[in-house]
Structure 1
Amino acid sequence: MNQFSSGLDLANLVLSSDLLHLSWDAISNLYRDNNPSDPTLILRVKYRVYSQPSKASIVVFVPSRICTALHLQDEGSDLVSSATLRENFPLFDFLSSKDNPSFSIHRAAITLFASLHDELSPLKNQLGNTTPLIITGHSLGGSVASLFTLWLLESISRKATKRPLCITFGSPLIGDEGFQQAILNRPTWNSCFLHVASNQDLIPKLFISPHNAHAPNIESTSQTNTYRPFGTFLLCSESDCTSFEEPESILELLVAMSSESMGNQNSSENLQIVDYKGFLEYLKCKAIFHRGVSEMGEWLNNPFRAGVSIQLESIGVKKSQQQQNDIIIRIEERVEKFLACKINVFDPSKKLNDRKIDMAFLEWYKKVSKDHGGYYDSYKNVMLKPRATAVLHKRILTRYWKEMVTEAERMPQREGASFRFRWLYAGTNYRRMVEPLDIAEHYKSGKKDYLTQGRSEHYMLLEQWLKDAKPEGGQNSANERTKACSQTEDSCFWAHVEEAIISCNLLNAGETSSENREMCRLALLTFEQDVMDLVKNYAASPEIFLEQSSFMKWWRQYQMIVGSSYNSSLTDYMRNHKYQHYK
């Protein structure tokens, strides 16, 4: 199937359903109770809830008066930054993330939403578990509908299988690239938005740079446009319609189809609401019948481009042959990249089961390494033939968890928090199993100071998230354990052992300065205490006491340095072989 034909298929599917008709009928009903043609009315947004037990519940938002370009500019067409919103109206802070910290929202849209906030709060709580739920709006009412949907999505569990559907008609773009990216970072959110835009309606293209239609490539388009689209756009002409999801193509096509249908008409004089009902009825009838395909000419040899050409014809874009070819080539390049990104979207839930197989192999490797100094030393000293396979499984696991941590960092704040908690157990198990192998490779290559010069950031983040997490029942403290854990809780334990060995070697050599010798002694005393803390809390793996382990190697060096007259909790524990009971 042509990769672009899905746009026509989706348009047919949506038109054949009652979703758009139900939404526009609800909008029309709310308009009938007002007089939107009166330009003296103060611009506000009104809403109503239509509860239909046998069908979807619908929340409708419409402006109190017709919104033209002139009106929107008067109300504020500029963007309000997230920094400013944080001071006055921090309701959408959840869109921020480490990877995407700032965003901006259309001033008129956020102002109108804020004016309804007190009324919408109880409605949000009431509708939180309502399914199916349609949130719809026209013009600036569509902008408020989009913001209300995002606000509702933020409170819905990530595990929820049903989410509200937001359908807007003739709505202007409402946010910048940061706002767009915050939504695209959550594909489940992006799929909740369907924006219907007619080629007779100027409002959807109002904040798009005019020369965007002639952008030679994606990069230049990004730089010349402030407002950015998200979700799926259903683009309609008087003859047909199609749908697009790739953002840059949406921008270009909104301009192209509007300019062809409206010419140089002054938007401020266009005071009529576009008859979307007429569009919908005509297009629904047409969707039932077979769509004709125009002569493709040279494009027939390239079905990828032929699909775009059909879609351009559907929405009435009839440029010169060269201009149309240029548009098709640009859209082809963009959508190829967009589809590639969607295909490569990191889905941790689908891959986690495969990673369990990798972890199982390392568990087996750990078991068979006991007779060769233990898991850490066997890997470091290449004592077993299966080490090569262990290296492969280690690399696969590391690649997966680095991607997972990066994805979690990209998530909007609250969404990211739930994501982290869900995967916290698996990530902690991975860190304690795999990081010792990274430490082994670091010191085997002759390097030092793993903690400051070798440790990957994804380990640090996994460790920090564990510290930040609150326990949910069960054991709340390591002190409640009655036997040793299979993995040492401190995944950097072997790095501390290696540094302790280095300190012992420096003291034995006697070539270092008195200041450095004192630093080595203090480091060793700290290490002693840390080891005993792990032992008392049963937080160390018994393998650290295997006779061939690096820890026992350190102990034999250390007891010779401190001498028989030195006493401490650790020396008493080791000299009296109490560790044998621990094992």
Structure 2
Amino acid sequence: MYVQRLGEMLKISEENLKTSCSLSLKAQNFPDEQFLVEKSPASSHAFFSFPGSWSVDGWYSGDKAFGEKEINLELFPSMRSIGNYDKDDKPEDREFATGFVNQAFLHRLEHVLKTSQLVNQVEAALKEQKSIIFTGHSTGGAIAALATIWFLQNYPNANNGAFCVTFGSPLVGNHIISHALRREKWSQCFIHFVMRYDIVPRILLAPLTPIQQQFEKVLPFFNPTSPNFKSEVLGASPEALHFYANVIRNASSLTSHVAFQLMGNTNLLLDTVRHFTKLSPYKPFGTYVFCTGNGKLVVLKNPEAVLQTLSYSCLLSSETEHAAAIAHKCLNEHFGYEKEFLGDESSLDMQNVVDFDKLELLLGSDGYLDDLGLGVRARLSLCAAKKFEEKKQENEKNVASKVEAFKDVMKKLEDYRDFCKENGGYYQAFKTQGEKKDFDANVNRLVLAGIWDEIIEMLKRYALPDEFEGTYKWIELGTKFRDLVEPLDIANYYRHAKGRRYMDKGGRPKRYKYTQRWLEHHLKLQPGDCGKSSCFWAEEDESLKQ
């Protein structure tokens, strides 16, 4: 079993984790403040904490069942898939490639950025050469997470040592947010602590409609300014039980559906169920630290494993447990972080920590997984989540194994291009197809196109590691391929086009669109800036027709 100190594992000092917890809870006592900031000359860090929201409108807004909204790409330009995103796509198609976040949380952050001193305070802290830590408890954690993405996006040269540390935060965005954060290598900046039974991180796995009445009655339990704050009567009420049951039922439906997909189940019935049953779009991102309640901490970085753990760890763990008691406990545990991290028997002091990625998922007994209530079915789902990530790594290795053969074919086309420069030109020679060399070049073009089309298909299915499109060796290889081979594709296209334009929709192959977008994103250029060289001959051919 792989056990080490939590601070070493997360690359943040345990003292900063304790300070984050203290300040996130402190912010809840100042609900009228947009944020609190704490920094001292003796500290190398500046902490920004955000209070929570205790109205339904602070959780769900807009007309979507789960309160989600397409992210503002002007504010968060990296929160999309690089290759799959096309600004000209229809709105209903963009969910496949665009980050979606909770609308209420997004609007609150946008309001804070426009109306408060947050930007000025952050920039002042940076001038003092302080590392930034955003933190929050409950929905304050969700705002802290979005603020961290904003910071990483807007201060790329100042994010060394930046962290987001949340306690009992609800989920914030869809799978594209997780994908983009991992691609940008920002995912490790996010650390989320979750008590085993805390209901709040699970709430957005349920749509508003079936829980709204109970949610409105339960929210005062969490509100420090309410007479019903931590009310035993409210915690043990039928509304609390129904609220818990509805959230867990929806969470279970989602995680069961996801687990079947992870296991490769292609049953059409699953798609039918998805069509008629609204499933939450939210997915975890960053590092999650689950607190078992007895001093043990389980660290997970696999977003699919986190989702499964969120669902299964909050279920009744035995027939002797009473549902109403668990429902009450799920509300109370939202306040358990102070004792867990700042009490006399702090989990950070006990250092009973295990890394899920290094843990063998045996179906038999294991202390850490047992303490999270993860039985055989849960472990099978966790195994599937692990294997899903491993399959992505395996797919990349398979692609990498073809690189040398790929380069050999590229070399043949480079030699062909050099030969053609002295004999009428690369583009025109290939378009004419008058020599055997031209025929051989066409065969090599098709070989390379087949390899890259296979890569693009895997990217469309998100079957490669999230980091793939941001890895320089693939960006460089894709750029060389595009510059060398696309002119040949254009020549071939205009041999058979029959009046169609190469740059029109459906003309230019995605293998060139994707690799161009990778380079533009890497160089922080506008869409279209890097396509001029490889698409030159398409423009030339069109101009000759006019």
Q: What TM-score bracket applies, with the shorter chain setting the length?
A: 0.5 to 0.7
- C-alpha distance 162-283 of structure 1, shift in aligned 2 (>3 A): same
Inter-partner Cα distance in structure 2 for 1:441 and 1:241: 59
Aligned residues: 441
Q: CA deviation at 1:231?
A: 1.4
The residue number in structure 1 matching 2:22 is 28
Inter-partner Cα distance in structure 2 for 1:334 and 1:465: 27
The residue number in structure 1 matching 2:381 is 330
User: Are 1:305 and 2:361 counterparts?
Assistant: yes
- C-alpha distance 369-471 of structure 1, shift in aligned 2 (>3 A): same
Q: CA deviation at 1:177?
A: 4.7
The residue number in structure 2 matching 1:264 is 327
Amino acid at match of 1:216: S
Q: CA deviation at 1:428?
A: 7.2
How large is the RMSD of aligned CA atoms in angstroms? 5.5
TM-score by length of 1: 0.58
User: Are 1:146 and 2:145 counterparts?
Assistant: yes
Q: CA deviation at 1:81?
A: 4.5
Inter-partner Cα distance in structure 2 for 1:206 and 1:56: 35
- C-alpha distance 351-235 of structure 1, shift in aligned 2 (>3 A): farther
- C-alpha distance 175-492 of structure 1, shift in aligned 2 (>3 A): closer
Structure 2 gap segments, 5+ residues each: 87-93, 206-246, 262-269, 318-324, 463-468, 526-532
Which of structures 1 and 2 has the bigger CA Rg? 1
> Which of these residues, 531, 537, 540, is aligned with residue 491 of structure 1?
537
Task: State percent identity of aligned pairs.
Answer: 19
- C-alpha distance 119-403 of structure 1, shift in aligned 2 (>3 A): farther
The residue number in structure 2 matching 1:204 is 201
Query: Is contact 1:44-1:112 (8 Å) kept?
Result: no
What secondary structure is seen at the aligned counterpart in 2 of 1:332? helix
> Which of these residues, 230, 241, 246, is aligned with residue 285 of structure 2?
230
The residue number in structure 1 matching 2:217 is none
- C-alpha distance 528-126 of structure 1, shift in aligned 2 (>3 A): same
The residue number in structure 1 matching 2:69 is 82
The residue number in structure 1 matching 2:91 is none
Inter-partner Cα distance in structure 1 for 2:125 and 2:409: 43
> Which of these residues, 39, 45, 64, is aligned with residue 57 of structure 1?
45
- C-alpha distance 173-243 of structure 1, shift in aligned 2 (>3 A): same
> Which of these residues, 153, 160, 163, is aligned with residue 162 of structure 1?
160
What secondary structure is seen at the aligned counterpart in 1 of 2:135? strand
The residue number in structure 1 matching 2:341 is 277
Query: Is contact 1:128-1:155 (8 Å) kept?
Result: no
What secondary structure is seen at the aligned counterpart in 2 of 1:116? helix
What whole-Å deviation, never above 9, does each CA across 1:29-79 have from its counterpart, x for those lacking one? 5756x783xxxx7565532132566x6413231427xx7xxx353744455
TM-score by length of 2: 0.61
Structure 1 gap segments, 5+ residues each: 292-302, 411-417, 473-486, 497-522, 530-583
The residue number in structure 1 matching 2:235 is none
The residue number in structure 1 matching 2:56 is 73
Amino acid at match of 1:170: G
The residue number in structure 2 matching 1:565 is none
What whole-Å deviation, never above 9, does each CA across 1:198-220 have from its counterpart, x for those lacking one? 12533222333413347434156
Between Structure 1 and Structure 2, which shows a larger proportion of helix residues? Answer: 1
Inter-partner Cα distance in structure 2 for 1:74 and 1:466: 41
Amino acid at match of 1:14: M
The residue number in structure 1 matching 2:390 is 339
Q: CA deviation at 1:286?
A: 4.5
What whole-Å deviation, never above 9, does each CA across 1:203-250 have from its counterpart, x for those lacking one? 222333413347434156985334321112111111412122333332
Inter-partner Cα distance in structure 2 for 1:134 and 1:109: 19
What whole-Å deviation, never above 9, does each CA across 1:546-583 have from its counterpart, x for those lacking one? xxxxxxxxxxxxxxxxxxxxxxxxxxxxxxxxxxxxxx
The residue number in structure 2 matching 1:248 is 304
User: Are 1:95 and 2:79 counterparts?
Assistant: yes
Inter-partner Cα distance in structure 2 for 1:395 and 1:142: 50
> Which of these residues, 216, 239, 253, is aligned with residue 256 of structure 2?
216
What whole-Å deviation, never above 9, does each CA across 1:82-137 have from its counterpart, x for those lacking one? 36x86xx9744663543546554335533543443231122343456856443222
Higher relative CO (CA 8 A, sep ≥ 6), structure 1 or 2?
A: 2
Query: Is contact 2:452-2:511 (8 Å) kept?
Result: no
